[in-house]
Amino acid sequence: MTDFQAVTLWQKIQLFYRWILENGDKRTNNWPLVYSPVPISCIFLCYLLIIWAGPKIMEKRTPVNLKPILIIYNFAMVCLSAYMFYEFAASSWLARYSLLCQPVDYSSSPLAMRMARVCWWFYFSKVIELSDTIFFILKKKKNQLTFLHVYHHATMIFNWWAGVKYVAGGQSFLIGLINSLVHVVMYLYYGLAALGPGMSRYLWWKRYLTSLQLLQFLAVTVHTAYNLFADCDYPDSMNVVVLAYSLSLITLFSNFYYQSYVVNKKAKKT
């Protein structure tokens, strides 16, 4: 590659980066972790470093007792998820959102800003949820550091960075609405489990939690596919990304369900 070609390539990268910065939603540009992809990319790299180095550091150490922290963390996440579910539901209802086709309202009206703010909180909650992985490492639960776990946590922060940066509202509200409700149930389960072995008799519904997660991805897939092929003023590029992502999660969670509740059940019977 000649120097001229290298400079041209570097200029193209600079122009693309400038386009990323300048073409976002002006309402959310000044909010934390939104204007530039650099901060969230640094968080992502730190996350990968922790996944690589954490188990090595903990290899010859005893698991850390995180019971008080996990109880507070999980029930705090229940409250945050419930708050976001309420805000998504109230904002979309009051603004008379359409379930089939809802463009983004880029105005600064109270309802449009309310929806944009809860989208940011949903995005930030995905950053907070990276703590799940750290807790697994500190507790030496290497079996829970699966590809599904890491893939889901690492990609959600980028998906919702783009969501808040470019489409804070519109069709994306349904993803936040459904996922927040699912996370109320999920973190309630984890919070009860963190209380100790005495709660195990009340946690028979873990299998149905996985089914609920699969159901949400199916709903998002159908909703996004319809919106992609319908005549709707919402970016097709976003719909394509969401559709591909939800299909990947259906595949991974279906495999998890099969391995956990079908193969293991047969193995136990044998």
First CA to last CA distance, the chain? 61
3-state secondary structure 172-215: HHHHHHHHHHHHHHHHHHHHHHHCCHHHHHHCCCHHHHHHHHHH
207-241 burial, b if ≥16 CB within 10 A, otherwise e? eebbeebbebbeebbebbeebbeeebebeeebbeb
Region of 33 on the Ramachandran plot (φ > 0 left; ψ -120 to 50 alpha; else beta) = left
Contact partners, residue 38, CB within 8 Å, separation at least 6: none
Phi, psi of 103 (to 5 degrees): -65, 165
Which one from 149, 152, 183, 223 is the annotated catalytic residue? 152
Q: What six digits make up the tokens of 116?
A: 């944009």
Task: Give Cα separations from 95 to 81, 102, 128, 159 (angstroms).
Answer: 21, 10, 29, 24
With vertex at residue 208, the alpha carbon angle to CA 148 and CA 182, rounded to the nearest 5 degrees, is 65
Alpha helices in 59-109 (DSSP H): 67-94
Cβ atoms 139, 66 nearer than 8 A: yes
**Active-site residue, 152 included:** yes
Query: What is the four-CA torsion angle of 36, 33, 38, 238, rounded to 10 degrees?
Result: -60
Q: Which residues are catalytic?
A: 152
